[in-house]
C-alpha cells in the first residue's frame, strides 16, 4: 500500500524494468469488443501498440480502476462495453483502455500516441485511487509530451492522503482541459469513507450531498440479499458475488461507477443537478433553476461547456437507491 502511494507521488520517474513488465494496458475497440478479445499493450514496447486495433484518430477512453480493484471485474467490463456503444458520432469510432492505478507513467507513454491528433478525444475515467493516478497522468502528459488530455472524470476520488493537500499531490483542474468529479463518499476515513468531500475540479457533482447514498444505510445484509445496484443482467454468478461483496464493504464508494454507468445507458434519466453554494441551500430549494446555465446532467453526458478556467462549480442532486436512480 505504501509502495503504491509512493509511486503516485513520484510518478514522473521511469518505472524499474521489473514493474514495467507487470503493468499492462488492456485494449478493446469496436473491432474487438468482447472481453475475450482484449489486446494486451505494453506502453514501453511500441510494436504492441502499432500491431493492435488502436487508432489515434478515434475517441479513446482510458479507464483506471481503484485500489484493490482489477480490470476484469464485471463493473469495469460493463462500463467499457457501454462506453464503446456511446461513441461521439463526430469521430469514426471509440476505443477503451483499462489499466492499473499503480503508476501514471504507464498511461502517459500510451497517450503520447494520440498527441497531435484529436486532443479532445482522449478522456480518462477512474475510480478512487485511480482518480488521483489519472491526475498524475494528466500532469505528466503536459510536462513531458506537451499534450493536454481532453477530459478527466473522477469517480469519487480517493480522500485519505489527498484531501486538502497541494495540487501537486492531488487531482486538480489543471490536469486536463475539463476535469469533473462525482463525489459520493465524502465522509472522513474515521467513518470508513474512502472518498473526499473536497471540490477538486472544474465541475463537481454531489449526489445526495456526496455523503450517504440511499440504500447504503441498510447495512451488509441488504447488499447481500438485494444484490448489486448496477443495472445489468449480464453478470455471471462470480460477477454478481463480487459486485455484491464490494457494495457490502463500501456501499457509498461503489455507487460512483454505478451512477456513471447509468448515465450512459439510460439517457432519459439525466439525474439533473443544480449549481448551488452547498447541499443545505439545495435542500431548501434555493437553487432549482437552469437560468444562466446553472443545471447539468450528471455523468457521461454532462455539459463540459459549463467548465470555466480557474472556477470551481458544485452541483447537487437527489437520487434513489436503485436503477434508474432518478428522483421524482
Rg (CA), the chain: 19
pTM confidence score: 0.83
* Assigned C-alpha cell, 85: 456503444
In a domain, 248, yes or no: yes
Write the CA distances from 109 to 42, 51, 106, 137, 189, integer angstroms: 10, 16, 6, 9, 34
Catalytic, 82? Answer no
Active-site option among 65, 253, 273, 323: 253
221: how many CB neighbours lie within 10 A of its CB?
9
Distance of alpha carbon 280 from alpha carbon 285, whole angstroms: 9
In a domain, 326, yes or no: no
In a domain, 327, yes or no: no
The range of the structural domain enclosing residue 30 comes to 2-317
In a domain, 30, yes or no: yes
Tell me what pLDDT residue 99 has.
64
Catalytic, 201? Answer no
In a domain, 323, yes or no: no
Tell me what pLDDT residue 54 has.
86
In a domain, 322, yes or no: no
Active-site option among 82, 100, 125, 156: 156
- To which H or E segment does residue 204 belong? strand 203-207
CATH code of residue 154: 3.40.50.1820
CB 315 within 8 A of CB 275: yes
In a domain, 147, yes or no: yes
Secondary structure (3-state) at 213: coil
Tell me what pLDDT residue 63 has.
82
pLDDT in tens, the chain (328 residues): 222 333 343 344 456 666 666 677 888 888 888 878 889 888 778 888 889 888 877 888 888 877 767 777 777 777 787 888 775 433 334 667 666 555 455 555 555 555 544 445 566 665 567 677 778 888 888 888 888 888 888 888 888 888 888 888 888 999 999 999 999 987 876 677 788 889 989 999 999 999 889 988 876 666 666 767 776 666 777 777 777 777 777 888 888 888 988 898 888 888 999 999 999 999 999 999 999 999 999 998 899 899 998 889 999 999 998 888 887 6
Catalytic, 175? Answer no
- If one counts the domains in the chain, the total is 1
In a domain, 325, yes or no: no
Active-site option among 96, 103, 128, 196: 128
Amino acid at each position: 500500500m505504501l509502495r503504491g502511494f509512493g509511486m503516485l507521488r513520484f510518478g514522473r520517474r521511469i518505472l524499474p524494468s521489473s514493474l514495467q513488465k507487470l503493468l499492462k494496458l488492456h485494449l478493446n475497440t469496436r473491432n474487438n469488443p468482447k472481453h475475450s478479445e482484449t489486446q494486451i499493450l505494453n506502453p514501453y514496447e511500441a510494436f504492441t501498440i502499432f500491431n493492435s486495433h488502436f487508432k489515434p484518430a478515434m475517441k479513446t477512453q482510458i479507464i483506471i480502476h481503484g485500489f484493490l480493484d482489477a480490470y476484469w471485474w464485471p463493473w469495469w467490463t460493463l462500463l467499457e462495453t457501454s462506453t464503446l456503444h456511446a461513441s461521439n458520432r463526430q469521430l469514426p469510432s471509440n476505443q477503451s483502455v483499462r489499466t492499473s492505478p499503480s503508476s501514471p507513467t504507464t498511461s502517459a507513454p500510451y497517450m503520447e500516441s494520440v498527441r497531435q491528433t484529436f486532443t479532445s478525444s482522449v478522456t480518462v475515467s477512474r475510480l478512487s485511487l485511480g482518480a488521483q493516478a489519472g491526475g498524475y497522468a494528466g500532469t505528466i502528459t503536459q510536462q513531458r509530451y506537451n499534450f493536454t488530455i481532453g477530459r478527466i472524470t473522477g469517480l469519487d476520488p480517493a480522500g485519505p492522503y489527498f484531501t486538502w493537500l497541494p495540487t501537486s499531490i492531488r487531482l486538480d483542474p489543471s490536469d486536463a482541459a475539463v476535469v469533473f468529479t462525482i463525489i459520493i463518499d465524502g465522509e472522513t476515513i474515521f467513518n470508513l469513507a474512502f472518498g473526499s468531500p473536497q471540490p477538486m475540479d472544474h465541475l463537481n457533482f454531489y449526489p445526495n450531498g456526496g455523503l450517504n447514498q440511499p440504500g447504503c444505510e441498510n447495512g451488509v445484509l441488504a447488499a447481500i440479499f438485494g444484490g448489486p445496484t448496477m443495472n445489468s443482467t449480464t453478470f455471471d454468478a462470480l460477477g454478481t458475488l463480487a459486485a455484491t461483496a464490494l457494495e457490502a464493504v463500501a456501499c457509498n464508494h461503489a455507487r460512483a461507477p454505478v451512477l456513471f454507468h447509468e448515465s450512459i445507458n439510460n439517457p432519459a434519466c439525466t439525474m439533473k443537478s443544480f449549481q448551488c453554494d452547498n447541499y443545505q441551500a439545495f435542500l431548501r430549494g434555493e437553487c432549482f433553476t437552469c437560468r444562466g446555465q446553472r443545471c447539468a446532467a450528471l455523468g457521461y453526458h454532462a455539459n463540459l461547456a459549463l467548465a470555466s478556467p480557474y472556477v470551481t462549480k458544485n452541483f447537487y442532486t437527489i437520487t434513489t437507491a436503485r436503477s434508474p436512480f432518478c428522483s421524482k
